[in-house]
């Protein structure tokens, strides 16, 4: 299945290697799921050559042969879930093979398992616990990228910025409050370092932020809204938050490239999706230019 994020950028404003995008939504709108979905599509190879009946058969996986740095502030990222998503893509590719080839792939579970594990090694996870730890992690990325210069790092992901800015008490009460001016100072430094690193290493920055209905105009320091090229609004359809098969909506707010304010109500692209068996199913696409 093609990446939902790749689908969302199939227009003349397609995502570039130095772009930045924020996935913005209330709790339980699938922000971490969307990022995990992107990771799975990034870390797989484009083609996997597997020996079938003494011949090398190229299995098209449509991955990017890339690496991802995942900064997990929310502690919601699951390697087991990433394994399931990545394995699902391999099995889908096998299902599309000719019957005679698919029959020969039966019983190759160990080879498939090793392929997925090799792919997962290209996802590098960091778990800072405060905005101070986050800034130290970002400041250390230059050395880390040089140490891993043989890898094709395509994404730096931060999930979620809100976790570094909200106190536990505020989050539990769904009230927004910065820790203070220090958060804004560090955020300015973080966004500046990320921009400089993007210019050198050509990766996309993906962040998530939690939507606050109490004060939606002041959720993050202004430097972040200036940093993003795109902001994606994720919404859960319906009010039953116990339903694991609920429908969701993914809408791209007009990008900063079009010189339209980031929080405009006009949208370029939207689709509905569902989260099923730890993966994302996409349907009902609509595009408005």
Per-residue pLDDT band for 27 (boundaries 50, 70, 90) equals: confident
CATH code for the domain in which residue 82 is found: 3.40.50.300
Per-residue pLDDT band for 171 (boundaries 50, 70, 90) equals: very low
pLDDT at 178: 46
133 within domain boundaries? yes
121 within domain boundaries? yes
5 within domain boundaries? no
Give the chain's length.
Answer: 289
Q: Which of residues 281 and 162 earns the better pLDDT score?
A: 162
* DSSP alpha helix (H) spans, 140-180: 141-147, 161-165, 168-172
276 within domain boundaries? no
201 within domain boundaries? yes
CB under 8 A, 24+ apart: contacts of 167-175: 174/212, 174/213, 174/214, 175/212, 175/214
The average pLDDT across 258-263 equals: 48
The average pLDDT across 47-66 equals: 85
CA angle 4, 265, 29 (to 5 degrees): 40
CA–CA dist 279, 86 (Å, integer): 9
Per-residue pLDDT band for 121 (boundaries 50, 70, 90) equals: very high
- Does the pLDDT at position 278 exceed 70? no
80 within domain boundaries? yes
- Does the pLDDT at position 264 exceed 50? no
Looking at the structure of the chain, the number of domains it has is 1
Segments forming the whole domain that contains residue 196: 20-232
pLDDT at 126: 96
Torsions phi, psi for 46 (to 5 deg): -65, -40
Supply 91's token pair.
């099995």
Number of Cβ within a 10 Å radius of residue 199: 9
- Does the pLDDT at position 248 exceed 60? yes
């Amino acid at each position: 299945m093609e990446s939902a994020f790749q689908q969302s950028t199939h227009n003349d404003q397609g995502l570039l290697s130095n772009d930045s995008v924020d996935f913005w939504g209330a709790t339980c709108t699938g922000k971490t799921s969307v990022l995990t979905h992107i990771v799975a599509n990034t870390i797989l190879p484009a083609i996997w050559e597997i020996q079938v009946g003494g011949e090398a058969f190229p299995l098209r996986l449509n991955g990017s042969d890339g690496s991802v740095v995942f900064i997990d502030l929310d502690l919601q990222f699951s390697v087991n879930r990433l394994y399931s998503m990545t394995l699902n893509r391999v099995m889908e590719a096998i299902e599309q093979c000719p019957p005679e080839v698919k029959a020969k792939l039966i019983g190759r579970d160990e080879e498939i398992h090793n392929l997925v594990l090799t792919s997962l090694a290209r996802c590098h996870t960091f778990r800072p616990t405060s905005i101070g730890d986050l800034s130290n992690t970002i400041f250390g990325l230059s050395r880390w990228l040089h140490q891993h210069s043989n890898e094709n790092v395509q994404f730096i992901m931060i999930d979620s910025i809100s976790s570094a800015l909200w106190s536990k008490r505020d989050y539990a009460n769904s009230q927004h409050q910065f820790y203070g001016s220090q958060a804004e100072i560090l955020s300015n430094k973080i966004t500046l370092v990320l921009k400089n690193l993007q210019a050198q290493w050509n990766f996309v920055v993906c962040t998530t932020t939690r939507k606050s209905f109490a004060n939606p105009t002041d959720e993050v320091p202004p430097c972040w809204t200036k940093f993003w090229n795109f902001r994606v609004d994720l919404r859960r359809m319906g009010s039953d938050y116990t339903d694991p098969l609920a429908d969701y909506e993914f809408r791209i707010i007009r990008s900063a490239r079009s010189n339209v304010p980031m929080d405009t109500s006009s949208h370029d692209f939207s689709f509905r999706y569902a989260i099923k068996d730890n993966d994302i199913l996409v349907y009902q696409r609509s595009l408005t230019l």
